[in-house]
Amino acid sequence: MIVRAVMEPHPPVAVKEIGRGEEKKIQKTLASYHEASKFIAACHPDTVIITSPHATMYSDYFMISSGKRAYGDFSNYRAPQVSFDVPYDEELTEELNTYLKKINFPGGTEYDRDRMLDQGTMVPLYFLLQEMPDVRIVRIGISGLPLTKHYELGMHVAEAAEKLGRRIAWIASGDLAHCEKEDGPYGYRPEGPQYDQRIMKDMGNAAFMNLLAYEPAFLEKAMECGHRSFCILAGALDRTAVTAKVLSHEATLGVGYGFVEYTVQGKDEHRNYLDQFREKEEEKIEIQKKKEDSYVQLARRSLETYITEHHKMPVPEDLPKEMLQKKAGVFVSIHENGELRGCIGTITPVQKNIAAEIIANAISASTGDPRFTPIEEEELPYLSISADVLGEIEDISRAEELDVRRYGVICTKGERRGLLLPNLDGVDTVEEQIRIACHKGDIDPEEEGIKLQRFEVVRHV
């Protein structure tokens, strides 16, 4: 069972052999490290689980470190003399790996490629070993999967620990926003302090359901580091009564560092936050579905038919005439819990009409987007869908002819081509729009001779 947990950052500068005096600028953080480490050691855990955003990260898989022992040092920070050699809890790791395979959850030890410890693990260990030299650990990375999947992983880890009767202390390693000050390493964005204030309040109140509702575009703008790590911890404490104690927060160096301690008080079935969040999302989608027009309704019916019945639906005859008589390129975008879950489209029409275009692209977006695993039937109640019908494509000679809200962009260099739709969350400048479109087409945006085109869309939601 989970008995205690801590949210804490991982700045290498906090290690005195690395900071060489600079660590004195973050005295609150240093004091909190020592207090948090004593807090963990005092509960005499069998194993300490560390979730780290700097462990090997996959887009669709959670990496769990395997092997007998964990090794690492701070050679990358000019302090190779600070090294680590601690045992892994092999039995718990194997139990978790076996359990995740059994339930077909995307995580385990199968793709453990880098056996060396990362800074997100080593910095907390540096302080913990001073209080608990015989620590045994399990190390878990984050993924590109939705926040709900991170929360769900935490629940599964807690179940595996419970099965083995382990007393677990948990460290959710993660810095907060990285854009807190103009003179910081990443400059200033208003979303930085906003994120820190919001996350410290939510974590300080153990309001774990709130973590699942952070908008992806906001998290990206805040340049946060630890949110997914915190979500895994929150999942491990699902249906659990806890007391929370905020130790400190500071952003002296332009990056947010926050500490919160959690003491488990027992079971509390009312804190089933993943179930509650999904219930709210399902209600929201049901309201949204009642407002969908014929374009989106068709896209939803298409992907639902294909996923549940495994065949492509025919074009219905009772659609608006323009869907049956006109041809156009169409992009179908799918979001789940606010995060992109698939987007596939055609720049120019390849089907007999817009309706057929929507049907084909909805299937491709839900099952054939190479960035994501195919959507499964249990996800259907939580999907938001939009269909963008493309207008005429125009050649333009310069970026100034673009407008991120009005026009989508196509960037072409030789046989390579990348497209980005207009009016997307998190894309606020033409420079960003072109950079992302180029990236999608495997084009270096600094290359010469990139052809630019623009187009408008009619977005159906």
Among 244, 165, 459, 163, residue whose Cα is nearest residue 333: 459
State the distance between the two ends of the chain, measured CA to CA, in whole angstroms. 44
Task: State residue 138 phi and psi, 5-degree precision.
Answer: -125, 130
C-alpha distance from residue 18 to each of 22, 24, 125, 178, 339 (Å): 9, 12, 15, 20, 37
The pLDDT assigned to 187 comes to 96
How much of the chain, in percent, has pLDDT values that exceed 70? 100
The pLDDT assigned to 247 comes to 98
pLDDT tens digit string along 10-65? 999 999 999 999 999 999 999 999 999 999 999 999 999 999 999 999 999 999 99
Tokens encoding 451? 């052809």
The pLDDT assigned to 212 comes to 97
What's the average model confidence in pLDDT over 135-140?
A: 98
Query: Are domains 2-275 and 291-460 of this chain identical in fold?
Result: no
- The CATH number of 291-460, from 3.30.700.20, 3.40.50.450, 3.40.50.1100, 3.20.20.150, is 3.30.700.20
pLDDT tens digit string along 191-212? 999 999 999 999 999 999 999 9
Alpha helices in 261-342 (DSSP H): 273-289, 294-309, 321-325
With bands split at pLDDT 50, 70 and 90, how would you rate the model's confidence at 142? Answer: very high
The pLDDT assigned to 63 comes to 97
pLDDT tens digit string along 67-100? 999 999 999 999 999 999 999 999 999 999 999 9
Asked whether the beta carbons of 298 and 357 are under 8 A apart, the reply is: no
Partner residues linked to 378 by β-bridges:
none
pLDDT tens digit string along 212-256? 999 998 999 999 999 999 999 999 999 999 999 999 999 999 999
The pLDDT assigned to 352 comes to 97
The pLDDT assigned to 119 comes to 97
Task: Tell how far CA 371 is from the center of its chain.
Answer: 14
pLDDT tens digit string along 382-431? 999 999 999 999 999 999 999 999 999 999 999 999 999 999 988 999 99
pLDDT tens digit string along 265-321? 999 999 999 999 999 999 999 999 999 999 999 999 999 999 999 999 999 999 999
**Quick check: 113 pLDDT over 80?**
no
The pLDDT assigned to 404 comes to 95
Distance CA 274, CA 286 (A): 18
User: Structure pTM?
Assistant: 0.91
pLDDT tens digit string along 164-185? 999 999 999 999 999 999 999 8
For the chain, what are the domain ranges?
A: 2-275, 291-460
What's the average model confidence in pLDDT over 354-358?
A: 98
Give CATH superfamily name and number for 2-275.
Answer: LigB-like (3.40.830.10)
Alpha helices in 223-272 (DSSP H): 227-236
